[in-house]
Amino acid sequence: MAKRSAFVTIGQAPRVDLTPEILAEVRCPLDVVEVGALDGLSDAEVAALAPGAGEERLVSRLVDGREVILGKTRIQQRLQALFDELDGQGFDLIVLLCTGHFEPFRVKTLFLEPQLAVDHFVQGLAYGAETLGILVPNEKQIDEFHGIDGKQSRVSFASPYGEERFEAAGRELAGTDLVVMHCMGYSEAMRRRVAAASGRPVMLSRRIVAHAVDLLLT
């Protein structure tokens, strides 16, 4: 019998650019319901969720492929409303498709929080590393990055949804011990480009999350 999981994006569902790559790593039959914090919103309503003065930003994708930049505070509120709705619907697992640093959510269902999963996984694999290269989607997120405990970080940017600068970012991170592509929007094809340009081991957030889903449900 297939397990049931809810995949929750901070943008709009379905994430045709992301979900198939996760499911390819999961060994058990999995029935996935995709929902998004921006589902059903007009362009004007989405624009109203842009970051306010001094507010940290999140980057995601609309269903038509356009990039969108969002304020973290209101997205956290919209996500919590979705989790309240999904709780009690019989899902075996709820997966947030974002590595952003959020305040703790209230969720009763088994819940996979990618920022915690990715950062702790990296800490374990990079125990002897001194400097991590971090890739985020937006240049203004460089100063907002929360850091990974115990590690120095050198942060660069490349959007998975807009202007491509993966080779440039890879070269900027070439002097680090390893690189973490810290956004669920980055694909395996993008990872290969950064690895080729940097010459460093490169870790992909969606792959870490995919293996966590597999471990939890298989």
What CATH architecture is 3-113+207-217?
A: 3-Layer(aba) Sandwich (3.40)
117-204 folds as: Oxidized Rhodanese; domain 1 (3.40.250)
Q: Residue 148's pLDDT is what?
A: 87
Q: Which segments in the chain show pLDDT lower than 50? A: none
What tokens appear for 180 in the block?
Answer: 């973490």
pLDDT in tens, 171-216: 999 999 999 999 999 999 999 999 999 999 999 999 999 999 999 9
Q: 149: exposed, middle or buried (C-beta count within 10 Å: 0-12, 13-18, 19+)?
A: exposed
The whole-number pLDDT of residue 213 equals 98
Structure confidence at residue 149 (pLDDT): 84
Check if the beta carbon of residue 204 is closer than 8 Å to that of residue 188.
Answer: yes
Domain ranges of the chain: 3-113+207-217, 117-204
Could you tell me the pTM of the whole model? 0.96
Where b means 16+ CB within 10 Å and e means fewer, 31-44 reads: ebebbbbbeebeee
Give the per-residue pLDDT at 89.
97
